[in-house]
Amino acid sequence: MLVTTITLSAYAQKKTNVIFILADDMGYGDLGSYGQTKIETPNIDKLASGGIRFTQFYAGTSVCAPSRASLMTGLHTGHTPIRGNYEIEPEGQLPLPDSSFIMPEMFKSAGYKTGVFGKWGMGYPGSEGDPVKQGVDQFYGYNCQRQSHDFFPDHLWNNTQKVELKNTHSNQVQYAPALIQEQALQFMDTNKDKPFFMYMAYTLPHAALQLPAGDKTFEYYKKKFNEQPKPVKTTWVGDGYQPQAYPHAAYAAMVTKLDNYVGEVVAKLKSLGLDKNTLIVFASDNGPHAEGGNDPAFFNSSGGFTGIKRKLNEGGIREPLIINWPEKVKSGQTSDYIGAFWDFLPTFADLAGTKLPQKTDGVSLMPLLLNKGKQNSHDFLYWEFHEDGGRQAVRMGNWKAIREKVFNDPKGQLKLYNLKTDPQEKNDVSAANPAIIEKMNGIMEREHVENKNFPFAEMK
């Protein structure tokens, strides 16, 4: 008699698992599937070839905390409670208010176990924005995004427990991404018989450009690039980003290390028999950084677009987005759907079969993913940025408008670009399109709702 062994967890889980993988400061052009030629990313590229690769999808904004808040709340940065990197001493950032209804809470209300692994940055320990008070069953990683600039920290957090590590600035022995990855894989093991949602907020490849001693991938890229060491300070006492003598090799190694971690997640799903019942999303929180010695021009990290992190040009906010859902989403697709982070909360609510208690700025992507019914589109997308004098941007169809120095001149002249003919935003055509400028001004004025913590004071 033929005996067939079937993984019970595949039957125990009738609801689709969701894993949202978020890279940190990785550009549109940093993946092989998006044109990268110097850095190797075979695992993420395989996800792309097995699902949908989006070419016109956007982050919440061009810096960490507000972009992630936009993802979690389903609101653009004119509406999110967190709109900038508002630092709290000695650890953490301005918290999400208790009134926010965010992604982990939604999944938990739908019967999912929820895990967050990596960087939080939306509420200091013990605050109302602490992940354990926002629907997260298991959190392991950095509460504070500022502290995540060191990949060899002196502590991480396991829910409310402070996990002391053996690292010092002169003795770097415990690499935080590896510790976080271990906990994430363990979460999958523990919850294999229940539907789960995982938000994997990797800190790679954000500065500092740090890797474990003797890292094989780092050594591989040193040789591949024939990179000669740059002179750096031999001692580092924690001020700013740790200097890196081999910045090209280090950045490439961090991207490939992230790719390896993604490969481990996929392999774990397969070993548990859950790969067919899991939707995986891969994205990045904003454009590439030029900090800690990083050189985005060397890698064409912005994918040919203008701008990097902190800019609202395409290079600062247009991000790689890959959605892989075996047996549900047809493989080998490329989509030019124009969407943004605030689409994911309504999408996942549809997937989980639950209602949201409040309105979002997003639209559900389920019709597009399943190729069933009419996919709604956005009339416009709106962004704010609360550093460097303040910025606003709107995309409306192929039109893109940007306003700089908002704090000093809240009604200042807009620059206007036609992304269909000018995706690099080189030619300002505002003077020839007064009617479009009038519409863009109206959207910016309407969509900015004043926030006392992140004011555009003159716009009250």
Query: Looking at residue 1, what is its pLDDT?
Result: 28
Q: Per-residue pLDDT tens for 150-189? A: 999 999 999 999 999 999 999 999 999 999 999 999 999 9
Q: Quick one: CA dihedral 458, 59, 73, 150, positive or negative? A: negative
Task: Quote the distance between the C-alpha of residue 330 and its chain's center.
Answer: 24
Q: What does each C-alpha distance from 172 to 64, 201, 210, 260, 302 come to in angstroms?
A: 25, 22, 10, 21, 31
- What percent of the chain shows pLDDT beyond 70? 96
Distance, in Å, from the CA atom of 261 to the CA atom of 265, rounded to the nearest integer, reads: 6
Strand pairing report for 196-201 and 113-119: parallel
- Across 312-337, average pLDDT: 97
Q: What is the mean pLDDT of residues 41-64?
A: 98
Give per-residue pLDDT as tens, 202-245.
999 999 999 999 999 999 999 999 999 999 987 899 999 999 99
Indicate the angle between helix axes 247-271 and 216-225, nearest 10 degrees. Answer: 130
For residue 459, name the pLDDT band (cuts at 50, 70, 90). very low
Interval 389-401: pLDDT, tens: 999 999 999 999 9
118 has which bridge partners?
141, 201
DSSP line for 247-279: HHHHHHHHHHHHHHHHHHHHHHHHHTT-GGGEE
pLDDT at 300 over 90: yes
| Residue 14 pLDDT | 79
In the chain the domains, ranked by start, together with CATH numbers, are 14-370 (3.40.720.10), 388-459 (3.30.1120.10)
Q: pTM for this structure?
A: 0.96
- Identify which of 15, 78, 176 has the alpha carbon closest to the alpha carbon of residue 443: 78
Per DSSP, 4 falls in state -
Mean pLDDT of 72-92: 97
In tens, the pLDDT along 403-439 reads 999 999 999 999 999 999 999 999 999 999 999 999 9
pLDDT band at 11 (very low <50, low <70, confident <90, very high): very low
∠ CA 71-184-81, rounded to 5°: 20
> From CA 209, how far away is CA 254, in angstroms rounded?
8
Q: List the one residue out of 434, 449, 339, 379 whose CA is nearest residue 71.
A: 339
Lowest mean pLDDT, pick from 11-15, 16-20, 135-139, 193-197: 11-15
* 224-243 CB burial, b ≥16 within 10 A, e <16: eeebeeeeeeeebeeeebbb
Task: Please tell me the predicted confidence (pLDDT) of residue 13.
Answer: 52
* Residue of 185, 126, 199 whose CA lies nearest to 161: 126
9 vs 16, higher pLDDT = 16
Angstrom distance (rounded) from CA 385 to CA 393: 9
pLDDT digits (tens, 9 = 90+) for 285-297: 999 999 999 999 9
Please tell me the predicted confidence (pLDDT) of residue 234.
78
* Share of residues in the chain with pLDDT > 90 (%): 94
* pLDDT above 90 (res 299): yes
- The total number of residues written for the chain in this structure: 460
| Each residue's pLDDT tens digit, 88-97 | 999 999 999 9
Mean pLDDT of 365-384: 97
Kind and range of the H or E element at 221? helix 216-225
User: Chain-wide mean pLDDT for the chain?
Assistant: 95
Which residue type does 97 have?
Answer: P
What's the N-to-C CA distance of the chain in angstroms?
77
* Tokens, residue 89: 């001493």
